[in-house]
Amino acid sequence: MGSSRLARVDRVNQIGLVALVLANLFVALQTVRHEWGYYETLLIFWTEVAVLGGYNVLRMLVVGVFGAEPLGSWAARWVDLGTRLNRLLFTLFGIIFFIFKFGGFALGIGLFVLLLPAMLAPAGQAGGISIHRALHAAGPGLLTASATLCLSHGISFMKNFLLDREYDRVSIGSLMFWPYARMSLVGGVLLAGIVIARMVPGLDSATSFAVVMVLLKLLADALSHGLEHAWLAGDSAAQPPEAERKAA
């Protein structure tokens, strides 16, 4: 039974991975089509931060109300949240805290991305002009590319988190920090791109460099996705099926 469960997890994870790859390849295609520079792609990936936060709120809501151990395995031995209504009220407090905490984090990233054109602008060029030009260039296709990434994360949420019942293997506390861990490798890759673009004048506006960075981001994203779900699959294999737990 354990091997069949792991095989099912593997199939489900592959669906989420394919969706992730296709969404990022679509962003690369949009980059070539609209001749975007690195800044325009960063603007799209900043919207992905907001998307991750939104889906994490849904994750917390599902775990808090329907999860097997919303407070974690250790706390479950000592604390019983009681009815669904009590669990919902407790979860809402956690969600409000997460929204303020993660919202401030996302806002800080957004301000950094917004000011990035001025930081990368050639000497003597006004920063305000650089920001205006960059935002204008990002207009066409920005919504479509962001919606594609949102759809990709939605597929992963449905297939992995709901259908594969990952919500039974995580707690609200772990979800408080999940988005930061999920973005850490991708953020490192994108930040390295900013440093390189700052060192090489004009590179930030080169479409070829933007496409390369999108593909590198895709590799980092796929690796993070694989590590996340491999950990959850391993945790699932270590746990006995629900019927066995009840029988015990």
pLDDT in tens, 131-159: 556 666 666 678 889 999 999 999 989 98
| Cα 109–Cα 225–Cα 61 angle in degrees, nearest 5 | 70
Position 9 pLDDT exceeds 80: no
Going by the DSSP 8-state scheme, the letter that residue 234 receives in this structure is H
Of the ranges 19-23, 84-88, 164-168, which is most confident?
Answer: 19-23
* Whole-number Å distance between alpha carbons of 166 and 239: 12
pLDDT in tens, 175-229: 988 888 888 889 999 999 988 988 888 888 899 999 999 999 999 999 988 887 7
* Whole-number Å distance between alpha carbons of 74 and 88: 20
pLDDT at position 130 is: 54
Position 100 pLDDT exceeds 90: yes
pTM score: 0.81
pLDDT at position 164 is: 85
Reduced 3-state DSSP string for 27-49 = HHHHHHHHCCCHHHHHHHHHHHH
